Structure 1
Amino acid sequence: MANPHIPGPPAGDDGTAAIVAAGGLHTYQLKLHAEYGPVVRFRLPGADLAVSVADPVLLEATAKIDKRPERLFEFLAPLQESGNLQTMPAAEHEPWRRVMLSVLAGRPSHEAHFARFAALTSELADRWAARAASGAAVALQKDLSELSLRMICEYALGSGLESDGAAGRVVSAFEDVLTEYLARLYHTDVPGDADERRARADEGLAYLRATVDRVLAAHEASGGATAKAGRSDMIAALVEAGESPARIRDSVLMTMLAAHHTTGVAISWTLYLLARHPDAAGRAAAELDRVLGGRAAPGYADLRDLAYLERVLKEAMRLYPPGPYGARETTEDLVLGGHAVPAGTTIFYPFWAVHMNPDYWPEPEVFDPDRFTPEASAGRPKLAYIPFGLGPRSCEGAALAMVEAELVLAILLKRFQFRLVPGHTVTPIERFVLWAAEDIRMTVTPRTPVHNRD
């Protein structure tokens, strides 16, 4: 249990009620840290008392912890048959993570799949162009989450989805399952009939398992052909490492879950911010015109020349971190900011509060991609920016996510201008990732690259 002498709200406060009253855990964390300082004790649903740390220097003391609090990740248990991959003991986690990184962080496999990623993105852009011609708006988060799901199936799993509707069905199935099990964990009220919601979750879970079975069957039928692309096939790597069939299935399912949520959401928030900041959008488009010339899509090598686009993406993930928070459980006593934290304490990582810490991010609410120039970044603590988490439990797919996101943004911004639908309100909400309550609805307009203008 957390040290009661750490600053925080009165011990009798109901954590769930306080979070709801604040408008969500994100905003509650900002409020807590503004009132009590960089280290705060608070009641976290699913973990009793927790210690939240919003200072990147203090976070260093926790960076090597390889244990997650099991109760906080119970909601993922229905998706897993081999034990919760998110809370597996460190001795099991380290070799499993090493295998995952050998695939997801490998440059050769990124390059091997890059052209297919570009083709999938161009297909989406064609559909958006058809909508634009008819005057219809696009729903960024829905479409981009489906695109991200298609990408991860092609990349890490060695198989695509069998129909145009399958990606959308997988996305909605994950939403049904997570909504139900998160509500159970946090004892929160969710709109709708409880029996109907439970039935949808059961149907969604069955559909997800059947989808993974089809992916695994496709892999077996191909004889692992995609492994020839340079360890680009996650399934083949897990088989080679001697993982059990249940562990392989769970790894596939968790990769699908993590990748389609976070990458699609990050791209959509980036486009939202650029629509609100036309000067930055113009600068990004001018860079694309300069680097790509008349080409509609970048090659893998072009990404290194899209420095401003990368800064835009990083700044968007600072303001709207797709994975909003993380947690660890201390395995030994720690001292944080002069406060004793005993072993067994849940340490909460409020990514948004860290990213909005004014000590390291002046005027933190302002969108400024040039915060990430080498000069501006020099001297900033490493953990001041943690969109993919930190330490041995950080996101294995971080490198892949950046490649995917930069590629998608490059194709879409080269081809379109984006404007918010008039009167459409964008409200961030927490739904496993930082979602928008009514999606982000945009109109897209074909643009004429600078090099083609008279």
Structure 2
Amino acid sequence: MNIPGPEPRADGGAGAVAAAGGLHTYQLQLHAEYGPVVRFQLPGADVAVSVADPVLLEATAHIDKRPERPFEFLAPLFETGNLQVMPAAEHAPWRRLLLSVLAGRPSHERHFARFTTLATELADRWAGQRDGEPVELQKDLTALSLRMICAYALGGQVADPDAVVAAFEDVLTEHLGQLYHGQERAGRAQDALARLRATVDRVVAAHRSGGRTDRSDLIGTLVEAGEDPARIRDTVMVMMLAAHHTTGVAVSWALHLLGRHPDVAERVADELDRVLGDRSAPGYADLRRLAYLEMVLKESMRLYPPGPYGARETTEALTLGGYEIPAGATIFYPIWAVHMNPAYWPRPDTFLPERFTPEAVAQRPKLAYIPFGFGPRSCEGAGLAMVEAELVLAVLLKRFRFRPAPGHEVVPVERFVLWAADDIRMTVSPRLPEEVPVRARP
């Protein structure tokens, strides 16, 4: 049976993607018109198939190969090969090593106080905004998430963390500029990349001369495992890349939704007051008690997944919903379309955190919600990202109310992550203006 989809175009599909405003919205359109399995054209892929049904996705969950062409733009960041497309045999042990650190409570707990300090510094700065002057959520929160991941990956061993942040932003701006706009700033970016590599090399060297590390230290764990210093450096770089936008963007979209649903925001505030009392920030153990806050974050990532799609390459032929998918095909995971599938998400456009009560979750297929992907190429830092995002939301929502900036339109666009075209501008006001926020307890 032939897979349904649009007629072939002479431009290889590039025009259709551009006309839709990006691949994520194009996939939404394709699935609305052709159903859960769609064949479509994409430059660089001879056969591209998009699958938006969570039950059918189960048959692809074992695939541990990424197509190389879509990830080529990342290759200049690495010296030991593109870590995003490394072969399965090499990827599996590397992934296990990363998960042993990134997914563990010791790692999260060790860095929690520093994360809290960084989030509180941003809240203090926002508290000084002139009345009515909006903040730019994505600009400030992505900068915060980059500072967090620098603190996590490099620890306190960097003399000038702000310089590291600035250098990484130079590198990222060049690569994303080339990807989306054809911009060229190679000289500046290459200098910044050289500075970043030298910085990470110094941290790696310090670990190599030290003693045994614990399970919460990423670089120390990679050193102990005998990883090559260049591979360790590349691992830190890819972590910074993955975490730079995603956590900040997720928090931004959550605040955007809460600003438009003040009843939900009040329920979050009530939970924070009940759990934290007069404290302005949670402790690590408090996060598990902030159940409604977690539901809000998950629902916001359903509506606005930071990474709107993933991709795998079939290593053998398989059958999906009666359709034959050949070996070597690129299978796209249209995360946004999966999250908007009305068969599993009634009224999919509506913001309903209650979708994530334990009872509601149990009624859906496992892969109906995949903000971090799934299978052997899912995000190793998913647990860390949730800790960071919940902490930042708790700090901000304990102190502030957020309202949409008058006259500002928020338009989602594809920029490596699901971005907003002109940022998300909101006004912030103190929740309890008569009280001075109490600093987080150590």
With the length of structure 2 as denominator, give the TM-score of the two structures.
Answer: 0.94
Structure 2 match to 1:145 = 142
- Greater CA drift, 272-281 or 231-240: 231-240
Structure 1 match to 2:370 = 386
Match of 2:27 among 12, 29, 34: 29
Letter in 2 for 1:119: T
Structure 2 match to 1:100 = 98
| Distance apart, 1:22 and its partner CA | 1.4
Match of 2:343 among 359, 362, 377: 359
- Greater CA drift, 272-281 or 18-27: 18-27
Match of 1:217 among 193, 202, 224: 202
Q: Does 1:250 align with 2:261?
A: no
Structure 2 match to 1:121 = 119
- Greater CA drift, 265-274 or 151-160: 151-160
Counterparts of 1:357 and 1:225, CA distance in 2: 52
Counterparts of 1:302 and 1:311, CA distance in 2: 15
What secondary structure is seen at the aligned counterpart in 1 of 2:106?
A: helix
Structure 2 match to 1:186 = none
| Distance apart, 1:26 and its partner CA | 1.5
Counterparts of 1:388 and 1:36, CA distance in 2: 25
| Distance apart, 1:102 and its partner CA | 1.1
Match of 1:8 among 5, 10, 20: 5
Match of 2:395 among 399, 406, 411: 411
Counterparts of 1:140 and 1:59, CA distance in 2: 34
Counterparts of 1:351 and 1:13, CA distance in 2: 27
Q: Does 1:443 align with 2:422?
A: no
| Distance apart, 1:242 and its partner CA | 1.5
Q: Does 1:332 align with 2:340?
A: no
Counterparts of 1:303 and 1:382, CA distance in 2: 23
Counterparts of 2:211 and 2:300, CA distance in 1: 33
| Distance apart, 1:205 and its partner CA | 3.9
Write the mapping of 1:280-299 to structure 2, written as runs, cut at 5 A: 280-299=264-283
Counterparts of 2:372 and 2:154, CA distance in 1: 21
Match of 1:61 among 59, 64, 71: 59
Counterparts of 1:401 and 1:45, CA distance in 2: 32
- Greater CA drift, 11-20 or 38-47: 11-20
| Distance apart, 1:170 and its partner CA | 2.5
Structure 1 match to 2:215 = 231
Gaps of 5+ in 2: 437-442
Residues 244 and 221 (structure 1), Cα distance of their counterparts in 2 relative to 1, 3 Å cut? closer
Letter in 1 for 2:135: V
Counterparts of 1:142 and 1:363, CA distance in 2: 31
| Distance apart, 1:165 and its partner CA | 5.9
Match of 1:427 among 406, 411, 417: 411
Residues 13 and 374 (structure 1), Cα distance of their counterparts in 2 relative to 1, 3 Å cut? farther
Structure 2 match to 1:18 = 16
Q: Does 1:368 align with 2:365?
A: no
Structure 1 match to 2:193 = 208
Structure 1 match to 2:440 = none
Counterparts of 1:432 and 1:120, CA distance in 2: 25
The answer to whether the 8 A contact 2:282-2:395 is kept is yes
Structure 2 match to 1:319 = 303
| Distance apart, 1:222 and its partner CA | 6.7
What secondary structure is seen at the aligned counterpart in 2 of 1:439?
A: coil
The answer to whether the 8 A contact 2:204-2:229 is kept is no
Counterparts of 2:411 and 2:211, CA distance in 1: 41
Deviations 1:342-378 (A, max 9, x none): 1111101000000000000000000000000011111
Residues 281 and 224 (structure 1), Cα distance of their counterparts in 2 relative to 1, 3 Å cut? farther
Match of 1:263 among 247, 250, 256: 247
| Distance apart, 1:319 and its partner CA | 0.5
Match of 1:136 among 133, 150, 170: 133
Count how many residue pairs are aligned between Structure 1 and Structure 2: 434
Counterparts of 2:424 and 2:163, CA distance in 1: 21
The answer to whether the 8 A contact 1:268-1:440 is kept is yes
Structure 1 match to 2:361 = 377
Counterparts of 1:397 and 1:29, CA distance in 2: 26
| Distance apart, 1:163 and its partner CA | 5.0
Counterparts of 1:248 and 1:284, CA distance in 2: 40
Letter in 1 for 2:423: D
The answer to whether the 8 A contact 1:415-1:446 is kept is yes
- Greater CA drift, 150-159 or 418-427: 150-159
What secondary structure is seen at the aligned counterpart in 2 of 1:340?
A: strand
Match of 1:83 among 81, 91, 102: 81
What secondary structure is seen at the aligned counterpart in 2 of 1:51?
A: strand
| Distance apart, 1:23 and its partner CA | 1.8
The answer to whether the 8 A contact 1:41-1:50 is kept is yes
Q: Sequence identity of aligned pairs in percent?
A: 68
Counterparts of 1:72 and 1:256, CA distance in 2: 19
Counterparts of 1:156 and 1:224, CA distance in 2: 18
Gaps of 5+ in 1: 184-189
The answer to whether the 8 A contact 2:207-2:219 is kept is no
| Distance apart, 1:305 and its partner CA | 0.6
Deviations 1:197-228 (A, max 9, x none): 21x24422431341242133145347777975
Residues 46 and 443 (structure 1), Cα distance of their counterparts in 2 relative to 1, 3 Å cut? same
Structure 1 match to 2:284 = 300
Structure 1 match to 2:171 = 173
